Amino acid sequence: MNKHHKAIQDATQVTWDQERTQRARDGIVLKKKKHKQKQIIASAISLASLGALLFYFGMTQTTQPSPNLAQKSVPSIQFADGSVAFPNGPHTLIVQHSSTERIVLDLQQGTSQFEVAPNPNRRFIVRAGNVHVTVIGTKFSVDRSPDDQVRVQVTQGRVRVDATNGVWFLNAGELGTFPGQAIQAKAPKEPPPTQEPPPPPNVTPRPPKPQNVVRRIQPRPEVRPKAKPKLAITPKTWEQLASKGNFKEAAQRLELVSPSALNSANSLMRAAEVMRFAGQPRRSIKFLESIETRYPNDAQAPMALFLRARTLLTSKPCLAAQLFAKIQHTKLAEDALAREVEALGRCGNLQRANIRAQVYKTRYPHGHHRGTVERWSKGQPQEHP
Amino acid sequence: MTSASPKSPHLHLVSLEGDKEQTRQEPDNSEDFEAIFVRYTPYVASIGLRLLGRPDEVDDLVQDVFFTAYRKMNTLTSQASIKSWLATIAVRQSWRRLRKRRLWNLIGWENWDAYDTIPDPAALPEVKAQVSALFRVLDTLPPDLRIAWTLQHVQGETQESIAHMCGCSIRTIKRRVSKAQALLKGVWSE
């Protein structure tokens, strides 16, 4: 080190006294306190951020589509309402109908998973043979095996399954196996009707420990009555369709509706009308019958009885005659009496037909059904083309 | 200084008010850090003044160095190396301050001009002038070059110790010193 450097070194000596030492010590203590405070704040912020992140991801995971499906590079069918079908492996999945109000898919073979966007005003139906899966919830898969067994597995929400052996409601985590088409062939009329419920599908809770073990669960008797109020939503849709004059689609939707789900005589009568206008009068009988049994004192009851008898006139004329005979003391009495004569004539009971024809002539000497009554009392007239 | 284990130092700081004692670990050798503090404060302060060239920043630097030393005491491997360890902390703290100061200077926030306060008031007038001029020039150097040159020529450290303090090789220190020397040559003739 040369002279210059030595001189500079000497000139840059610090005079460090006791006072400065104390000041420095005090400053260190203060720094230490601040440092602790910073650590606490940083920890609190980290915890809060972590909590917020966990909360955020917890929330989004329940609403977003499952990543395992989204990540799969499988072909998918995306519908306008955001619902997606993920066919899996060899399959035949046909979109039969897709509109804002109804999506109908026909799974002819193979497996497909479905993620259905919640929308109470749109029906999402998957048909696999005779099994119709109607979505009430959101996520499920349908597997139609070559032996025509249809496996429906619900991962989220709730679905209604219309199978040949009944109507079933599957909740999230449940798996049902239903016969695709075989039931009708296997179950002819010979087994006498018993009080037992129809054979249940195999319903398993979703995470069964061993895959092969299928735990049979008797369908809970309260499930169906519980589910029925939910079907109160569905008439809205078929009613809307009917009001637009689309009776065929309304009738298709009504096929899934039990008469007991309709809570007024008016609704039942409207449903019967829809069936008749859709060209399926025989399907209206159950609704008409329901009016007679549930609402016997309603003003619509005689009309329901008349319509039912009228529907049965050609196929079951004897029964129709009995039903027409029940209609008395109402505005429909004249028409009912004339139809009764016709029904008796069709039935071949000409003696009784003559008696009832005489009654008609006596009661309604100027009735506008006189000619028809006259003809039927003498036997079945030639049908005009 | 006692023979406390360097891996488990026992630190003790007493605030000026004397009402609270911040202790860490066992208090039996609590005077260790206090002793280190008292003993090495002037040394750290002189390094600070020579590296920073700002008498008003020296106290802050000393606090920062000893606070860091207090927090990192468990990383000290040998009692014998305390002095160089503190010097290393002082160099790194100074380097941060110099870099920040250079940034402020770049955007025009640094306009310190009290170079005549750096030298000892008792020094000769020509030495005072030389010191003021030197630090004026040093303020124009990059922090790495300035620290290397200052430690070698003003602090009188060996290149090995400078390399240790700066965390780089001796070759790098040599290169930095020679580069700084070349930049200073026109302004500061030996």
**pLDDT tens digits, one per residue of B29-61:** 445 788 888 889 999 999 999 999 988 889 999
**Which of A23, A28, A37, A39 best tests the B interface by mutation, with the highest count of B CBs <10 A?**
A28
- Is B128 in contact with A11 (Cβ distance < 8 A)? yes
Nearest CA to CA, how far is B122 from chain A (Å)? 8
Is pLDDT larger for residue A208 or for residue A148? A148
CB A281 within 8 A of CB A251: no
- At A192 the pLDDT is 42
Quote the pTM value: 0.41
Lowest mean pLDDT, pick from A2-16, A100-114, A318-332, A349-363? A2-16
- At B152 the pLDDT is 92
Contacts of A22 in chain B (CB under 8 A): 16
Q: How confident is the model at residue A137 (pLDDT cuts 50, 70, 90)?
A: low
CB burial of A44-78 (b: ≥16 within 10 Å; e: otherwise) equals eeeeeeeeeeeeeeeeeeeeeeeeebeeeeeeebe
Contacts of B137 in chain A (CB under 8 A): none
A55 to A31, A42, A48: CA distances (angstroms): 36, 20, 10
> Cα–Cα distance between B84 and B89 in angstroms, integer?
9
- At A229 the pLDDT is 44
Residues in contact with A188: Cβ distance below 8 Å, sequence separation at least 6, in sequence order: none
- Is A24 in contact with B66 (Cβ distance < 8 A)? yes
Range A271-295 average pLDDT: 86
Nearest CA to CA, how far is A3 from chain B (Å)? 9
Tens of pLDDT, residues A357-380: 989 988 888 888 888 888 887 776
Q: Please tell me the total number of residues recorded for chain B in this structure.
A: 190
Q: How confident is the model at residue B121 (pLDDT cuts 50, 70, 90)?
A: confident
Is pLDDT larger for residue B79 or for residue B155? B155
Tell whether the model's pLDDT for residue A183 goes beyond 80.
no
**Which of B16, B49, B127 is nearest residue A22 as measured by Cβ atoms?**
B16
- At A74 the pLDDT is 54
Percentage of residues in chain A having pLDDT higher than 90: 5
- Is A8 in contact with B130 (Cβ distance < 8 A)? yes
Q: How confident is the model at residue B24 (pLDDT cuts 50, 70, 90)?
A: very low
Decide: helix, strand or coil at residue B24: strand
Nearest CA to CA, how far is A42 from chain B (Å)? 17
CB burial of A91-119 (b: ≥16 within 10 Å; e: otherwise) equals bebeeeeeeebbbbbebebbbbbbbbeeb
Q: Supply the ipTM of this predicted assembly.
A: 0.71
The two structure tokens encoding residue A114: 């479905």
- At A378 the pLDDT is 75
Contacts of A8 in chain B (CB under 8 A): 127, 130-131, 134, 153-154
CB A121 within 8 A of CB A151: no
Contacts of A25 in chain B (CB under 8 A): 13-16, 37
Range A131-160 average pLDDT: 77
- At B110 the pLDDT is 74
Q: How confident is the model at residue A88 (pLDDT cuts 50, 70, 90)?
A: confident
> Cα–Cα distance between A186 and A164 in angstroms, integer?
11
Q: How confident is the model at residue B149 (pLDDT cuts 50, 70, 90)?
A: very high
Range A345-366 average pLDDT: 88
Range B68-77 average pLDDT: 84
Interaxial angle between packed helices B82-106 and B159-166, expressed in degrees from 0 to 180 and rounded to the nearest 10: 70
B103 CB-contact burial (10 Å; exposed 0-12 / middle 13-18 / buried 19+): exposed
- Is B41 in contact with A5 (Cβ distance < 8 A)? no
- Is B64 in contact with A31 (Cβ distance < 8 A)? yes
Nearest CA to CA, how far is A4 from chain B (Å)? 7
Residues in contact with A61: Cβ distance below 8 Å, sequence separation at least 6, in sequence order: none
> Cα–Cα distance between B31 and A216 in angstroms, integer?
77
Tell whether the model's pLDDT for residue A329 goes beyond 90.
no
> Cα–Cα distance between A299 and A136 in angstroms, integer?
35
